[in-house]
Amino acid sequence: MDKDGTSAMENKPSLNFLEQIIENDIKNGVNEGRVYTRFPPEPNGFLHIGHAKSICLNFGLAQKYQGKTNLRFDDTNPTKESTEYVNAIRQDVQWLGFQWEEPIWYASDYFDQLYEFAVYLIKKGKAYVCHMTAEEISKGRGTPQTPGVESPWRNRGVEENLLEFERMRTGEYKEGERVLRAKIDMASPNMWMRDPVMYRIMHAHHHRTENKWSIYPMYDWAHGQSDYIEGITHSICTLEFIPHRQLYDWFLDNLDVKGIRPKQIEFARLNLTYTIMSKRKLLQLVEQKFVNGWDDPRMPTISGLRRRGYTPASIRVFADKVGVAKRENLIDVSLLEFCVREDLNKNASRVMTVLDPVKLVIDNYPENLSEMLPAILNPEDPDSEKRMVPFSREIYIEREDFMENPPKKFFRLAPGTEVRLKYAFIIRCESVVKDSEGNITEIHCVYFPDTKSGMQTTRKVKGTLHWVSIEHALETEVRLYDRLFTVPEPENGAEGTDFRDYINPESLKVVKGYSEPHVQTSAPGQNYQFERLGYFCVDKGSSPDKL
């Protein structure tokens, strides 16, 4: 027994490090034991599978500890952001199955408040207006090994700073002429503490505040304060923000905040083999038309995965399985693929489709007869609905399901052998017809009427084939998606990365096939697990030529 009175032998589910931090905070009554998280995307692109991990983390943690989660758009850089992205992101979060606390927040909601905070810091002598150029500031910052030098404007008076800051706001200066800086420590070993920029001048149109502002807060100045204003307790972000944490805390300390005090916690972002996860590069793929938009089914975006046929549940399970820790990771994309397969195998409807058809004639089946045979929509689901499949004398089977000279372990159709047609009868191959070049054009079989699916029979077969009645077949275009990239990832950096060297030409194939008529009545976006093909999504919601 430990101090809590619980047995050490008990099989407690293990907690990840975030859960441990939170449980610790709850135990110690930090922020009254409340858990309030937020998901704070910048609306400058579509969300991808990496964001999905963050979404599942933030919303999942709040759910687990009876807390709440805000959706906040970090829209502090008007030149890169748009309402189009805002809408796409909202849709993706909802589709994943999460509901944020209303209303949706925007960092731009706090521009006035942030301005007041900045004035407060100026009055405390903790911030100043600097006239140096971006280049001068960067140079003055020094290097990680050597201290920076102080700006000549660093020690000017409060009144002058106030006046200058006001002029920045009213738009008197051109972009780059002035900047508001926090007055911290030019010799700090942490580069982000060497008088970081809080505001820069941008004469840009903002998607929400329009032309009201000519100064915009930097991420560091906006983020922690936004967290504070919203009452966020645990501000979860990725590892590259670790050096920013000191600054995050400095701002909060110097604003003398009271009440809920947010805490920044970092975790390792998701990396996937064969998958580009950088928004900048995804934007490049879109802009340079390597793909047809952010929601192209070959993209690792949430909307791309959705169109590809991924289910929200499969992505949530994936996010859970990859775990969360502080070390850099590279998850094998096959884990993601495993998660969809597992979900779809359990839940997706089945339908028979033949992609590379060869005609098969059942010689002893009546010529003008056809019958409807009952089939299960999903054999993995005991409550599965049934569908009726038409059967007739002439059918298509997959060309690869027949071999004239089969090797030993070939259990499908060959001259003289018997197989079952799924949901139908056992047949035996009697002969084949070939064209002048020796290609098989017809396979002739006999069937055994007393072997209809569900009947008792003593005949044993080693294989079962899928098939489609020619007369009833529906011509379908089947889209097969493979991974977009065949190598792990194009070299980092390199503005001019030529994706052509990496793109898998087989990443999208449109194949003509024949399906049973059931497909016709199905809903747009319906997932099917095609027998022997894995799954694909019948995406009737968009026109095929869009791809």
Partner RNA sequence: UGACCGAUGGUGUAACGGUAGCACUACAGUUUUUGGAGCUGUCUGUCCAGGUUCGAAUCCUGGUCGGUCAACCA
What's the half-sphere exposure (Cβ side, CA atoms, 13 Å) at 393? 7
Work out whether 411 is an interface residue with RNA (CB under 7 A).
yes
Task: Please state, as a whole number, how many other Cβ atoms lie within 10 Å of the Cβ of residue 360.
Answer: 24
Please identify which residue in 11, 28, 145, 405 interacts with RNA, judged by CB under 7 A. 145
Q: Beta strands 464-465 and 440-447: pairing type? A: unpaired
Q: Which helix (H) or strand (E) holds 54?
A: helix 49-64
Work out whether 149 is an interface residue with RNA (CB under 7 A).
no
Smallest gap from Cβ 542 to RNA, in A, equals 21
Using the minimum distance from each CB to RNA, give the nearer residue, 299 or 339.
339
Left, alpha or beta for 507 (phi > 0: left; psi -120 to 50: alpha)? alpha
Work out whether 240 is an interface residue with RNA (CB under 7 A).
yes
Of these residues, 279, 316, 393, 420, which one is catalytic? 279
Q: How many residues bind RNA (CB under 7 A)?
A: 90
What backbone phi and psi angles, to 5 degrees, belong to 515?
-120, 160
Q: How far apart are CA 513 and CA 246, in angstroms?
A: 60
Counting DSSP H helices and E strands in the chain, the numbers are 12, 24
463, 419 contact by CB (below 8 A): yes
Task: Pick the stretch among 54-62, 163-171, 220-228, 296-304 that binds RNA (CB under 7 A).
Answer: 220-228
Of these residues, 19, 23, 42, 337, which one is catalytic? 42
42 given a catalytic annotation: yes
Task: Please state, as a whole number, how many other Cβ atoms lie within 10 Å of the Cβ of residue 101.
Answer: 16
Task: Pick the stretch among 58-66, 117-125, 286-294, 533-541 that binds RNA (CB under 7 A).
Answer: 533-541
Identify the residue whose tokens are 């020619």: 470
Work out whether 161 is an interface residue with RNA (CB under 7 A).
no
Smallest gap from Cβ 343 to RNA, in A, equals 11
Smallest gap from Cβ 327 to RNA, in A, equals 3
Task: Pick the stretch among 53-61, 284-292, 419-427, 519-527 that binds RNA (CB under 7 A).
Answer: 419-427
147, 193 contact by CB (below 8 A): no
Please identify which residue in 49, 118, 184, 201 interacts with RNA, judged by CB under 7 A. 201
Using the minimum distance from each CB to RNA, give the nearer residue, 123 or 203.
203
Work out whether 243 is an interface residue with RNA (CB under 7 A).
yes
Using the minimum distance from each CB to RNA, give the nearer residue, 9 or 369.
9
Using the minimum distance from each CB to RNA, give the nearer residue, 329 or 504.
329
Q: What is the DSSP letter of 137?
A: H
Residues 39-78, interacting with RNA (CB under 7 A): 40, 42, 74, 76-77
Please identify which residue in 422, 428, 483, 540 interacts with RNA, judged by CB under 7 A. 422
Residues 338-397, interacting with RNA (CB under 7 A): 338, 341-342, 345, 350, 352, 379-380
Residues 261-290, interacting with RNA (CB under 7 A): 268
Q: Which candidate, 206, 216, 209, places its Cα nearest to that of 80?
A: 206
Work out whether 433 is an interface residue with RNA (CB under 7 A).
no
What is the CA angle 513-364-415, rounded to 5? 65
Task: Please state, as a whole number, how many other Cβ atoms lie within 10 Å of the Cβ of residue 505.
Answer: 9
Please identify which residue in 216, 396, 485, 502 interacts with RNA, judged by CB under 7 A. 216
Q: Which helix (H) or strand (E) holds 431?
A: strand 426-434
Work out whether 242 is an interface residue with RNA (CB under 7 A).
yes
Q: Beta strands 418-421 and 426-434: pairing type? A: antiparallel
Work out whether 176 is an interface residue with RNA (CB under 7 A).
yes
Please identify which residue in 454, 458, 491, 521 interacts with RNA, judged by CB under 7 A. 454
Work out whether 408 is an interface residue with RNA (CB under 7 A).
no
Q: Which helix (H) or strand (E) holds 283?
A: helix 279-287
Q: Which helix (H) or strand (E) holds 109?
A: none
Using the minimum distance from each CB to RNA, give the nearer residue, 133 or 520.
133
Q: How far apart are CA 269 and CA 239, in angstroms?
A: 7
227, 241 contact by CB (below 8 A): no
Residues 297-316, interacting with RNA (CB under 7 A): none
Of these residues, 126, 208, 269, 422, which one is catalytic? 269
Q: Catalytic amino acids?
A: 42, 269, 279
